[in-house]
Structure 1
């Protein structure tokens, strides 16, 4: 991927993450009974799903930031169990 594409994707996912944070905090504080995020209506019952979406968005932002800084997108390693 080129730098321009990475920057656009990073900007998009950062904005998405900010919106998810706002929705989560509004629902968690109890100030609202429901919160509208784009075309979805979220309630306190959706906090678990929203938390998972936040985690995914954070991972995507971290991955794109690493790509932008010239690092590999993911650091993978393997473990080979051995029975001696």
Structure 2
């Protein structure tokens, strides 16, 4: 993720968590003749997962498995 800092990724994650909270209180609402429908909850959760993994990789908390193949020379 070139150009994205850890702080920026945390900001995006916080925004998506706020969006999830807003959707959980009501998917759509109307006032007067206007109606507002919020984003799809599954898309919000995909974005939360994406930003959580981005934060993990930017902060260096990623576990890496290494595989070695023994060779008889």
Q: TM-score, normalised by structure 2?
A: 0.64
The ranges of structure 1 where at least 4 consecutive aligned residues each deviate by more than 4 angstroms after the TM superposition are none
Give the number of aligned pairs.
Answer: 60
| Runs of 5+ unmatched residues, structure 2 | 30-35, 68-73
Instruction: Specify the alignment match of 1:23 in structure 2.
Output: 19
CA RMSD in angstroms comes to: 3.0
In structure 1, stretches of 5+ residues that fail to align are: 35-40, 79-84
Higher-helix-fraction structure: 1
Asked if the contact 1:63/1:74 (under 8 Å) is kept, the reply is no
Cα 1:21–1:42 change in 2 (3 A) is farther
